[in-house]
Structure 1
Amino acid sequence: MKIQIKVLLIVFTLLLISGFVTILVNQTVSKNVLEQAIYDNLECVAKSRANHIETLLNEYKQTAERMATGNSFRNIVDPSKDYNQSIEQVNRRINTIIQSTEDISRVRVLDKKRIVVASSHTDISQNKSAAEIFLKGKEGVYIGDLHISNFTGNIVIRVAAPILVNGEFSGVIIVDYDAERGLFKITTDRTGLGETGGIYLINKDGYMITPSRFINDTFRKQKINTDSTRDWFRAIEIFEAHEHEAVIYKIYLGTEVLRVQVPIPMMGWYLVAEISDEEAFAPIAELTRRMLSILALILVIGVAVSIVLSRTITKPILELHHGVEEIEKGNMDFKVGTKAEDEIGQLSRAFDSMTAELKKSRAELEEYSSGLEEKVEERTNELADKVKESEEQANATLNLLEDVNETKNELEASRQAILNMVHDLETEKREAENAKEMLAAANVKLERSNKELWDFAYIASHDLREPLRKISAFGQLLQESLKGKLDEDEEENFAFMIDGATRMQQMIDDLLVYSRVSTKAKPPERVDLNAVIDDLKNVELAVQVEETGGVINVPEPLPPLHADPSQIHQLLQNLLGNGLKYCRKGVPPVITVRGRVVNGNTVRIEVQDNGIGIEEQYCANIFGMFKRLHSREDYEGSGIGLAVCKKIVERPGGKIGVESNPGVGSTFWFTVPITIDELQIQRNRWDVMSDILEEISWEGGVQKTNLDWKSVKSYFDFLMDNGFLEAGDEPGKGESYKLTEKGQDLLLKLQTVAEMIR
């Protein structure tokens, strides 16, 4: 095999292996990143739609609850009121509600005898004693499953709420909401789902209860019967939660899709978001094609370069071989020497020297043979010896040539390997620089996106609050100017309008606060929690503490945190404010704040109260947006405070949770990671305080004159103020201190914590 072909095969093999490995690694990393981004996007869309549906259903329940408290609906079930006047008012009220609310298609009122006393349709006086909705609505606000209305023929959601007259149950109001005008608009919105995506709801039996974009008439007819669906519903019944996971399924249409299923626990539904795997993973296929094209281009360039390099090696060898053939033919004047400084150049010049010696010897032989016949034999022998010597020299030269060729090939192979290594290093360096530039550009883009998001939130909130303020202000002016001229329904409508505008304005303010947690976050710094709680007791929560007669205790000094000071201030204000607000009637709130270091790398803060407590089934949901467990009449607020707390804690990698016992109280806790610097500062502080307590414990007391008072005064003040030290009683020795029983307990705890950290 020729040397040129060998060089080509070696270079081609090395390029193929190195290029394939490099592309395989890049392909694997890029594919994982793209797949995760696709999964995250689909999960985000599914969770957003599920939250939208839960918000809509909660609005339906709140609307029905407000209607049940209206005067016209209470009067119609109140036997003490004039029936003719009441039926006229309630019919007018029902018509107004249906005309002003797009998705309400039917309203009925049943008295406590289960008789329909008012309705938007022709079913007045019908006995509905067997209706499950009446029994559910009697116990509280109830929202039923989707079904087809017998009167309208539309798919509706039915909501029932009890009507109370003078605090006693007197009837039920039942409101039908048209699903096509509300719920189905959410599920048919394909924003973020591409060309093949879709969203639908399924019930516990696995049947679709919302329209499909691919087939008609699916309501409770098209079954999504998969083992995973049944497992998900079973997990919700047992644990009231399930992890959202994007997986690939073969659906009822026979195609494979990427699917995410999100539970809606309050209804026992599952929201299913799907997109075809072909569309979802199209970027990955395009990436594979590009990588293969790059590999082919690298191979072509490598082959071309190897051809050029191999020619520079083989050309001098071929020229030398041609010169040897000419000399063998007797052409002693042919020159093969070159000016090259490598081994082949030296060999070619050695050939020229050998040829010159042979030519000289041949001339001398001819000269001697022409004049001296007698010396022919002698000279012949000498010539034979010289020829033999020349042949040996030629053989040695040829052997040297072979050795030189082998050495040359080895050197060229080493040189090529080094060149390939340098090329790979340069390629990796360029890729690292490109990745660094892409990361910097992504950071700039992220900062710009955060700023744009904040600017949009601020402008949107300002533009939304301005008309709401006008609605509220002009509504109040109209209400005052028309006072005494309006009937009860009109007064009630004005009250609903002003209250709705005020709550919407508060909701916008709360959403703006929620967005600031990420967009207006400050660099972390050391935060003294004890000082923060003192500020809250004396400033922000002072009025609330005085009104409720509450007490906020910090039995032991709290460890410092490394976090955003303003966000930690807001976090503690929300938790302490909730403890003061959700107190039991007639029982002054008592809030205790404790903190400790866990595993030497995390600070855990606990806020314990003696309030009304939280039922266990709601503990996992109270940190969601606008999650409320009580009506606004009982406890004011928008339901976003704990969501803000959760976002503040989780931003630096912490966790938040609650442990509660209804009627006894709740304990809210959160954790924040400790930095190395903060951990050392905390350790030094504990060491100083532990040394002070140990010295006092050993000596049975210590005098002020024996201390470096300037360096330890702050520690003594804290220990005295919190009852860990007390003044000594030895006369004539000046100010002295000794440990209390509480101080001895603190000393043991500090020693235990110090050992854990060490």
Structure 2
Amino acid sequence: MKETKFHSLTVTLTIVFLVLSIMVLLTASSLQIYFNYKIQRDIIIKQQQLIAEKAVNTVKSFINEKSNILKTVASISNTATFSYKEQKLILEKLLGSEPVFRQLILLDSKKQEIVRKSRLSNLLSLQSTNEEIDKFSGINPRNLYISSVYIDEITSEPMIIIASPIIDVLENFKGTLLAEVNLKFMWDMIDSLKFGTNGQTYVIDKSGNLIAYGDISRVLKRENLIHLKNIAEFVNNSNSFEQNTNVSRGILNTYSVSCIMPLGFPEWAVVVELPVEEAYKPVIISLHLTGWTMLLSFVLALSTGIYLAHRITRPVKNLRNAANKIGKGSLDSKIEVESSDEIGQLAVSFNQMVEDLKKTTTSIDNLNREVMERKKAEEEMQRLNAELESSMAKLEEANQEMKNFVYIASHDLREPLRKITSFGSILEKSLKDKLSGEDTENLTFMIDGATRMNKMIEGLLVYARVSSKTQPPQMVDLNEIITQLQQLELSVVLQEKNAIIEIPKPLPTIEADSVQIRQLLQNLIANGIKYQPKDRIPKITITSKPDANGIVRVEITDNGIGIKAEYLSSIFVMFKRLHTRNEYEGTGIGLSVCKKIVERHGGKIGVESHPDVGSTFWFTVQIAEKQLANVVMEPSEICDGLD
């Protein structure tokens, strides 16, 4: 047989778990880094766009404010026609109120200088200013004009010329008001727009020249930034250029997230830059944390893999060792079940296999012992069967004795009582005037005692017949039973008491012994009529309602004297009476008969009562199958009451 190379299952499981863990970690970390980068990039772009918009609005507000001042002064009626002294006074006041204006010049309609007011000495050369004014001569004088940025050769400060036309009320061109604006006042506004630690904000013109920046020296050098990618795109497409945000080299010659936004008019642009290291600092921190997390997770995954591999393979190794022992003949080897998973089930099955193997090798003594035990069990079963047959015979004998007692009670006991009652009545009539008062009373007691004894025997017979004389279950219409009781058994007492029986809704058809159900209803209704105050008309209400599992609950409610709470649990006990015979007649057997009838039908009986208000006797019985599909019955009045 060819020998196969051994491969450790522990090592294999460890490697598989480690590889899967690394794949999950790499996937989760990559997704986290990507989404963090994307979110941070969107935040930076929006942040820089907001700052750029703020800077653009600041520069525009600066230019528009100065332009509007010139427009306001130029709109004063007949400014060009004022006297030289008046014109000079106007320019002096404007120059004094606006430090941004370095000099103001008023030209006539032919663009000839009328008056000039300057902060500089008359001895200083104004060659650069005059050159810009000469450029204005070729421009339409009716439009607002803003010149290109130029550097004054004397102060080395950036300047622009703003020219506003003077138009009279008849829309005639009268002249031009020019102002030389010093842009150094815009530097502080741009420098105040700080963001981040190393964020940069600056303004360039359409040629790429730096005109506003925190480092003033670079502005004074008139540094041109067209070599930067974003600036070059703006200069080459100044007319159609829109805002742009990307990563490129910035003004500090470092890679930055740069946002450039044009002003429109004048043709300048605001640039906002933030170094990449600062912009993506949260992403870089997250990357470092992810790296450390992956390293720690790798160590944890390796440890967990080794632990799980040993935990999984240890039962397999135990199984292998036990199999080797069994192969050598040791049938007492067992595996300890340490888990409830598949490995644990395998261990249980292995132990069961060993146990079955031991049973198959049981000695002849054990087999004989098992045979003897089976024989003893069979003998014990035969003995128990004999005892059961004996008990059944005794029970049959007791039943026969009960039947004999019923026969004796119905014939041998009742016959003497009838004779006593009959002859006592005859003696009472024949000796009516011959006996003394005491003898007459004794004779009456004898007749009443015999009558009560006869009724008690009749009650006992009825109680005994509940079990001995039964009929198979059949369909019983409760409405029909009650109607027959009103017309027959209860007709006399109903008329005597003027009692009323009400059935608000038709009662269901049940499956029961019709004779016994008739006896049950007769007893409960008769009790409700009997136990009444003397001045009250009895009223009996009979209702029903469905219960679970095809059971119906029938309730007989009266308006009688009621029952005290302490007697509710004992009224179904035989011979139990709550009143004397002088108050209410009875034997104390009727409710016991009712309880036995209901229990024979597999139901329950109970009572709910309030003294001087009335009682509700209820019982449960099986409803007929034809009514199970429609337990809730339609309302219909069956009996409005009988007098």
- TM-score, with normalisation over the residues of structure 2? 0.47
| Structure of higher CA gyration radius | 2
- TM-score, with normalisation over the residues of structure 1? 0.40
Greater RCO, CA 8 A, separation 6+: 2
